[in-house]
Structure 1
């Protein structure tokens, strides 16, 4: 229990507004709940959220210590009272999350609170599986990332051993990730494997495709297969044999069939005609091949996880 004393400058404020200002990490919905549960009292008595405070009033707050911290990037998860996650799979070591297009995985210049990692940490904190104040506490971490406007499966590690193993397996290409995308025009041939070279321009946040080695470019290998066609649109499954920035988007555009909705590498006029503002790209399937020892994750060997409902597939291919 902690106490707060109302000073002269705060007299006359409502209880909920005074506490909200004093504890910015406490979510408003949780604040109201704590008042109802009498975990926030005034002068030892139950109080209503709209009670006006007087100078010298003493508030008793039966609230976790974490909420008294100052806001920092690493504790912003506390502000999420109701984390929103689409969990594909979860066990004691990891979580597979279906990230929706439009959600950032980590804080950036445009979003600090509503991020995938904050939702994960809030979820595990509220389940009492993790608390940053525990001694030697491991912070739940993402093993892979997906662009803001791309949806699909993201792996989150609950412990350091899982993070190490998954990072090693991704590096050694022991996990198979398959994507679904919709292209404007169908790739020719309808199935194949493409090797090219991608060079990233950091200032433009864009990659450029080359068909022979050039300075600063990295080899990119992409395997694809056309699944369906409907008019000028094609539903294509893509497997990445390398993991380069914007690899699928740049490669398919280079093949003459850019992704529907892609504002950077695609056809703006066509995208506007379909009303699409995000690239039709989804990391929909993950297989733990694990041909070599995976330690505590050996039980995942050979297992495949898949997102069954991919929004743009349902929209255009039913």
Structure 2
């Protein structure tokens, strides 16, 4: 899902109007929705729909994506664990974890905030402790109190959180393997892997190649499809996806990295990666929380294709 970006210059007659009114006048309902959902940008920053316009200024409008806005299909039943400090959610697949440049209202975080507000009558202070890709389902940890933020960040940044993912991939991965590579952006901006010797190298974009470390374990082979455990020991963007590609075994549904989008005639609309297990110290008590989450039905549907 992507959003069209339009650049416009505020005219003299539009000066003093709200930015929301201007885009609604120019683009109709699509412009009105873009303003309401947070798709207005000036000087590299998101601006609100009621911001007064000044003649000659440039406004970037991120119009609704193809198919319109979609809110994360989240309900209170997706809550796995909750206390005064933590909210742990079984994130549905095919939805964004946090805000996107074109939408501040449809993410898991935004919908969770609305659900808790309706339930409790108070607007909660929620912060993501980590991220999951849009296509990835499973365990997502959110802080509910500012006192939990620093301990959670320290736990995730310093290797105190154990995570295991279930993945369905194409090909024949080894029974057990460990990959240590470099990780960074390619010239075109996409994430890619680098040789170990390049870890620490400064890229043309000024960023350094970072270390990426994943353990992969085969659970079962189904013809040319495999069910694997993936344990990331570092937390790089698309790390598991890229390491499976390096093994010649891209995730089913991972069109971006060459994964098949159909299996036995079944459409796979997103990468089949699921955050299934997580263990972390509680940010206040320090006690170890062990959280488990079964995969979504599409995993079962694919495996049924193989009997």
TM over 0.5: yes
Paired position in structure 2 for 1:47: none
Total equivalences in the alignment: 231
TM-score, normalising length: structure 2: 0.67
Question: Counterparts of 1:83 and 1:258 in 2: how far apart (Å)?
Answer: 28
Paired position in structure 1 for 2:185: 200
Q: Is the 8 A contact 1:227 1:234 kept in 2?
A: yes
Question: Counterparts of 1:267 and 1:225 in 2: how far apart (Å)?
Answer: 19
Paired position in structure 2 for 1:314: 300
Question: Counterparts of 2:192 and 2:268 in 1: how far apart (Å)?
Answer: 23
Alignment of 1:34-183 (within 5 A): 84-85=75-76, 86-128=78-120, 130-131=122-123, 139-183=125-169
Q: 1:159 to 1:240 in 2, by over 3 A?
A: same
The Cα offsets for residues 77-106 of structure 1, whole Å up to 9 and x where unpaired, read as xxx9x9624111111211110111111122
The 10-residue stretch of structure 1 (307-316 or 243-252) with the greater mean CA deviation from structure 2: 307-316
Question: Counterparts of 1:220 and 1:255 in 2: how far apart (Å)?
Answer: 14
Paired position in structure 1 for 2:193: 209
Paired position in structure 2 for 1:14: none
Q: 1:253 aligns with which of 230, 237, 245?
A: 245
The Cα offsets for residues 178-224 of structure 1, whole Å up to 9 and x where unpaired, read as 10101101212x112111111224854x2222223322321110011
Paired position in structure 2 for 1:304: 290
The 10-residue stretch of structure 1 (111-120 or 228-237) with the greater mean CA deviation from structure 2: 111-120
Q: Is the 8 A contact 1:284 1:310 kept in 2?
A: no
Q: Is the 8 A contact 2:261 2:268 kept in 1?
A: no
The Cα offsets for residues 14-64 of structure 1, whole Å up to 9 and x where unpaired, read as xxxxxxx9xx99xxxxxxxxxxxxxxxxxxxxxxxxxxxxxxxxxxxxxxx
Paired position in structure 2 for 1:76: none
Q: 1:243 aligns with which of 213, 235, 238?
A: 235
Question: Counterparts of 1:202 and 1:89 in 2: how far apart (Å)?
Answer: 41
TM-score, normalising length: structure 1: 0.65
Across the aligned residues of Structure 1 and Structure 2, the Cα RMSD in angstroms comes to 2.9
Q: Is the 8 A contact 1:162 1:297 kept in 2?
A: no
Question: Counterparts of 2:145 and 2:251 in 1: how far apart (Å)?
Answer: 36
Q: Is the 8 A contact 1:185 1:233 kept in 2?
A: yes
Q: Which runs of 4+ in 1 moved over 6 A?
A: 69-72
Q: 1:295 to 1:84 in 2, by over 3 A?
A: closer
Q: What's the secondary structure of 1:242's corresponding residue?
A: coil
Q: What's the secondary structure of 2:257's corresponding residue?
A: coil
Question: Counterparts of 1:312 and 1:83 in 2: how far apart (Å)?
Answer: 17
Question: Counterparts of 2:168 and 2:277 in 1: how far apart (Å)?
Answer: 16
Q: CA deviation at 1:248?
A: 0.6
The structure number with the bigger radius of gyration is 1
Q: CA deviation at 1:111?
A: 3.1
Does 2:263 match 1:279?
no
Q: Is the 8 A contact 1:235 1:313 kept in 2?
A: no
Q: Is the 8 A contact 1:262 1:271 kept in 2?
A: no
Question: Counterparts of 2:127 and 2:99 in 1: how far apart (Å)?
Answer: 13
